[in-house]
Amino acid sequence: MGQEGKKLLVIVGPTASGKSSLAIELAKKLNGEIISADSRQIYKGLEIGSGAVTKKESQGIKHHLIGIASLKSTASAARYQKLARNAMRDVWSRGKLPIVCGGTGFYIQAAVDGIIMPSVKPNKKLRIKLGDKTARELSEMLRALDLKRWQSIDKNNKRRLVRSIEIARSLGSIPPLKSKPIEADVEFLGIDISKDELARLIKKRVKGMIRRGFIDETRKLIRNGMPEEKINEFGFEYRDAVAYLNGIIKSKAALTDSMAKQSLQYAKRQMTWFRRDKRIHWSKNKTETTKIVKEFFEKKTTRISNRPN
RNA sequence: GCGCAGGUGGCAGAGCGGUCAAUUGCAUCAGACUGUAAAUCUGACGCCUUUAUGGCUACGAAGGUUCGAAUCCUUCCCUGCGCA
């Protein structure tokens, strides 16, 4: 594949919708490699609970950015952006097609659209200090620092207020939003699935997780001295597993139900994100998918389209 | 059968004469998203409509007291606990 003909396929969809297996199938057909876009799968040690593909499932297709970050480190969109872009370059350099596949919309946006995030590292001390302030107090602080950003920010969202204050304190103000989109022809393929069907698949997936040792995976985290608050941050699956191990969730059946319910809620949030992106071509079945992919490869012009806001 | 405590919107659970279509949490629906994104945050949530200081139906059921009742009284039905 020449420099001018670079292509990138992005597969999105809610959790458990079958993204991974579709990606593998397409990778086999299209000489591709998969770049995971998942904020949990990126960690080493969360493979089961995050639903990362197993070696067997991957069928020899190379997967990038799964299990590569230490649990002691913190994953972030900025970090993911760098890693994903490097991975894409790497795949292209070997003449193959990178297939970004995952459910973390913000990570995909960071990597593909290249939103330029202010290069201010998280300041733990500051975050702790600001942690017990009210949203109102934080809002006032930000207003004094950067009126412009203050006007557009969600004034109830403490987490965002803290980050903005963090940036403004370091740079003086929050730089205007810019992005450097990836220089390639990008196709967004979305898996369109009914709610009932998704609920069924989620239940199946959760059961499979538990069967494959999800609880042991969590137990291992605890045994390795990971504080419970930290484990809770790894997502609702782990929060539930901890609750189960502590006897708050009484049975495996209850654990399964809770995980499934929360997965469905998560799937909804994911869809709220994806629905907004009009570049995504939604596919209900194999026929539609084949058509979308075919058109993508027949298209000659290389257009770089920004995510509309 | 007697005694006690209860029966409130999909669920849990406040309210105990007017300002109650009814606090709050969960669930549900919709939305936001500038380095935590499986996170964080917002709105809607009895029904109807000309969307309003609007109408209608509602706090187990039926009566009653009152200008006015989810709130007080009577009877009935149901639930839990205690005693038989």
One-letter amino acid for residue A60 of the chain: G
Counting Cα atoms < 13 Å in the Cβ hemisphere of A286 gives 3
Positions of chain B reached by protein Cβ under 7 A: 27-42
A window 86-115: Cβ near strand B (< 7 A): 103-107, 115
| Residue A275: CB less than 7 A from any atom in strand B | yes
| pLDDT of chain A, 309 residues: tens digit per residue | 444 589 999 999 999 999 999 999 999 999 999 999 999 999 999 999 999 999 999 999 999 999 999 999 999 999 999 999 999 999 999 999 999 999 999 999 999 999 999 999 999 999 999 998 999 999 999 999 999 999 999 999 999 999 999 999 999 999 999 999 999 999 999 999 999 999 999 999 999 999 999 999 999 999 999 998 899 999 999 999 999 999 888 899 999 999 999 999 999 999 999 999 999 999 999 999 999 999 999 876 555 555 544
Quick one: pLDDT at residue A299?
Answer: 77
Looking at chain A, the number of H-run helices and the number of E-run strands are 14, 8
| Residue A50: CB less than 7 A from any atom in strand B | yes
Distance (Å) from CA A153 to C1' B72?
52
Task: Return the H-helix or E-strand segment holding A99.
Answer: strand A97-101
**CA of A117: nucleotide with nearest C1':** B34
Counting Cα atoms < 13 Å in the Cβ hemisphere of A13 gives 24
8 Å CB contact between A307 and A113: yes
- Count, residues in chain A: 309
Residue A256 in tokens: 């399964």
| Residue A74: CB less than 7 A from any atom in strand B | yes
| Residue A147: CB less than 7 A from any atom in strand B | no
- What would the pLDDT profile of A271-283 be if each residue is shown by its tens digit? 999 999 999 999 9
Beta-bridge partners for A189: A11, A281
Quick one: pLDDT at residue A248?
Answer: 87
Instruction: Classify residue A10 by burial, with Cβ atoms within 10 Å: 0-12, 13-18, 19+.
Output: buried
8 Å CB contact between A214 and A235: no
Distance (Å) from CA A157 to C1' B22?
29
Tell me the ipTM for this assembly.
0.91
**CA of A116: nucleotide with nearest C1':** B34
Write out the CATH class of domain A3-116+179-298.
Answer: alpha beta
Closest CA to A41 of A26, A53, A32, A33: A53
Quick one: pLDDT at residue A100?
Answer: 98
Quick one: pLDDT at residue A2?
Answer: 45
Quick one: pLDDT at residue A122?
Answer: 93
Distance (Å) from CA A296 to C1' B25?
49
Which residues make Cβ contacts (< 8 Å) with residue A154, sequence separation at least 6?
A: A160
Rg of the Cα atoms in chain A: 21
- What would the pLDDT profile of A150-187 be if each residue is shown by its tens digit? 999 999 999 999 999 999 999 999 999 999 999 999 99
**CA of A266: nucleotide with nearest C1':** B38
Q: Where are the domains of chain A?
A: 3-116+179-298, 124-174
Residue A9 in tokens: 């396929």
**CA of A135: nucleotide with nearest C1':** B41
Quick one: pLDDT at residue A269?
Answer: 96
**CA of A178: nucleotide with nearest C1':** B34
Distance (Å) from CA A86 to C1' B37?
21
